[in-house]
Amino acid sequence: MNEVGNFFKSAFSVDNIIFGFDDGDLKVLLIKRGQEPFKGRWALPGDLVYPNEDLETSANRVLEELTGLRNVYLEQVHTFGAVDRHPLGRVITIAYFSLVKISDFNIMPASFAKTAQWHSVVKAQNTRLAFDHNIILNKCFQVLKQRVRTRPIGFELLPPKFTLTELQHLYEAILEISLDKRNFRKKILSMNLLKDLDEFQEGVPHRPAKLYEFDKERYRQFEAEGFSFEVKEGKRKEKKRLMETMGISID
Amino acid sequence: MNEVGNFFKSAFSVDNIIFGFDDGDLKVLLIKRGQEPFKGRWALPGDLVYPNEDLETSANRVLEELTGLRNVYLEQVHTFGAVDRHPLGRVITIAYFSLVKISDFNIMPASFAKTAQWHSVVKAQNTRLAFDHNIILNKCFQVLKQRVRTRPIGFELLPPKFTLTELQHLYEAILEISLDKRNFRKKILSMNLLKDLDEFQEGVPHRPAKLYEFDKERYRQFEAEGFSFEVKEGKRKEKKRLMETMGISID
DNA sequence: TCAAAAGTGTTTGGGTTACACCCATGA
DNA sequence: TCATGGGTGTAACCCAAACACTTTTGA
């Protein structure tokens, strides 16, 4: 058996499903494979895990090498290990997803564009990706959907300042449902996770919307309390869930 | 050693966190390690994944070799891969949890008792287990807690016929909260997942409770529909969540 | 008759849902 | 003045939560 054959006898990799939001659409960052197997196909960015590297470190490295970004939201989703998932040997892969602000990508190096490209998640799901990456993408999207209902992580995908409508469109894109504007605003604002900046959009051909900022401090506070908060007066519930549902309950 | 050789030195295993319920207490099946490292310590059952074996197959094998049981609830939870988690080399482990009926263990082989033993989950958490198994157990318990709120899987831990009180105690043990009897019964029965057997407990020193059976057929139906169901009359919600919360919302 | 657990209904409040019109801006 | 999206309130309903006494059985 040759070198490559030995190499792939048994190995593990990470794949990092990088989600972004732009143009009212949820996107995923894919890489065009330059070599076999699956040369020319789009694939999820990933790499073998280095011997001296924790899994999460590895997932972060994949992200940073590709985008230059650090300290983004990262979550382990699932490990895929079907015997035949890699044509060259036994490779299991640990899938993570990241949430990034596409606005940060303005500073991307030129070399980037050659191989990496944002794709609409829905379209990518209907494209034949390399390896078992369709399955992985589906699973990550499904977990993202669920996560967004129970934790206020949507902000990770938006620029620092955003409007409520942008936020609503984000939730609609992820959940693939439409939400009622008034109810959405009531709920989001009642969470007290947004700072009203008293600034407004500029250069829009309509009434400019108010800009908000995510209150990271308050988020950390909620995080510590498991995303629920004390109710001041009411004697009914001791704690109140922070999110849950965020609209109509369809899974 | 060269790069390739380093990659080759790694291995992956599965650990199967086997939960059971008995005596009003949530239990986990642990193994006493017979050799180094961690000789004499309690550990989660697990094994290296065979080259020609899918991960889930491997987790099922660990369960079957230990207990003889097949076709039990099994779910992948998380993959642990800290560089130093195994003293003998780089071994990442994919953690699964299983839900079994302890009543099935009456037929266990005698050899079983030597090494495997049920432990209260809470006590096990406060015991120093082998490797990073405390972390793994905690994570699995946490996921079980969450899962039990959103899917009717509690039945997997009970004998085929059970009383509503037993079911309530199960939920209380998993969620580590106390539940209101009347509200619990209302909610559980409203799900229509229980068959009233019109049978009763025997030989108990008090009024015998009615026995119920889990309606597997209806469960599969719900599963297909994503654990929500159509509401007949009401025009407010098209679909209604099946579970969620099951009591007081504390995480 | 006593202990022990089974079994059972109603009220209340908070949160989710449904729903429609006027406002501010740039073109 | 027109098009475009921004922004706002209220009523109905549903469900979670709170809560206590009677019943049945074996000892």
A155 CA: distance to closest CA in chain B (Å): 23
Contact across the interface for A11 and B11, Cβ inside 8 Å: no
Nucleotide C17 C1' to residue A195 CA (A): 26
Contact between A242 and A229 (Cβ < 8 Å): yes
By C-alpha distance, the chain A residue nearest B78 is A78
Residue nearest to nucleotide C20 (CA to C1'): A182
B228 touches strand C (CB under 7 A): no
Q: DSSP secondary-structure letter at A81?
A: -
Residues in chain A with CB shorter than 8 Å from the CB of B11 are 10
pLDDT of residue B247: 38
> What stretches in chain A show pLDDT beneath 50?
1-8, 231-236, 245-251
Strand B161-162 versus strand B194-200 pairing type = unpaired
Contact between B197 and B210 (Cβ < 8 Å): yes
Residues in chain B with CB shorter than 8 Å from the CB of A248 are 237-238
pLDDT of residue A113: 58
pTM for this predicted structure: 0.91
Nucleotide D6 C1' to residue A210 CA (A): 9
B128 touches strand C (CB under 7 A): no
Beta strands in chain A (DSSP E): 10-22, 25-32, 42-43, 46-48, 73-80, 90-99, 116-120, 161-162, 194-200, 210-214, 228-230, 239-241
By C-alpha distance, the chain A residue nearest B240 is A249
Block mean pLDDT (10 aa), chain B, length 251: 50 97 94 93 96 97 93 97 94 98 72 80 98 98 92 93 96 94 94 94 94 92 68 49 45 30
Identify which of B9, B55, B78 has the shortest CB distance to residue A81: B55
Partners of A229 in the β-ladder: A240
A88 touches strand C (CB under 7 A): no
Nucleotide C10 C1' to residue B168 CA (A): 22
**Residues of chain B in Cβ contact (below 8 Å) with chain A:** 4, 6-12, 49, 51-55, 76, 78-79, 81-83, 90, 92, 94, 226-228, 237-241, 244, 248-251
pLDDT of residue B109: 59
Tokens of B205: 């020193």
B206 touches strand C (CB under 7 A): yes
Q: What residues contact A140, with CB distance under 8 A and at least 6 apart? A: A17, A19, A77, A78, A95, A97
At A33, is the secondary structure helix, strand, or coil?
Answer: coil
A251 CA: distance to closest CA in chain B (Å): 6
pLDDT of residue A242: 59
Residue nearest to nucleotide D12 (CA to C1'): B236
B interface test, pick of A10, A93, A236 with most B CB neighbours within 10 Å: A10
Contact across the interface for B51 and A237, Cβ inside 8 Å: no
Helix locations, A191-244, DSSP H: 216-224
User: Tens digit of pLDDT for each residue in A41-92?
Assistant: 999 999 999 999 999 999 999 999 999 899 999 999 999 999 999 999 999 9
At A67, is the secondary structure helix, strand, or coil?
Answer: helix
Q: Give backbone dihedrals phi and psi of B40, rounded to 5 degrees, phi first.
A: 90, -15
pLDDT of residue B105: 78
pLDDT of residue B103: 86
Positions in chain C where some atom is under 7 Å from a protein CB = 3-10, 13-20, 23-27
Contact across the interface for A54 and B94, Cβ inside 8 Å: no
Residues in chain A with CB shorter than 8 Å from the CB of B53 are 83
Domains in chain A: ranges and CATH: 2-148 (3.90.79.10), 164-245 (1.10.10.10)
**Residues of chain A in Cβ contact (below 8 Å) with chain B:** 3, 6-7, 9-12, 48-49, 51-55, 76, 78-79, 81-83, 90, 92, 94, 226-228, 237-241, 244, 248-251
pLDDT of residue B219: 85
Q: What residues contact B71, with CB distance under 8 A and at least 6 apart? A: none
Task: Report how far residue A93's alpha carbon sits from residue A165's, in angstroms, rounded to the nearest whole number.
Answer: 37
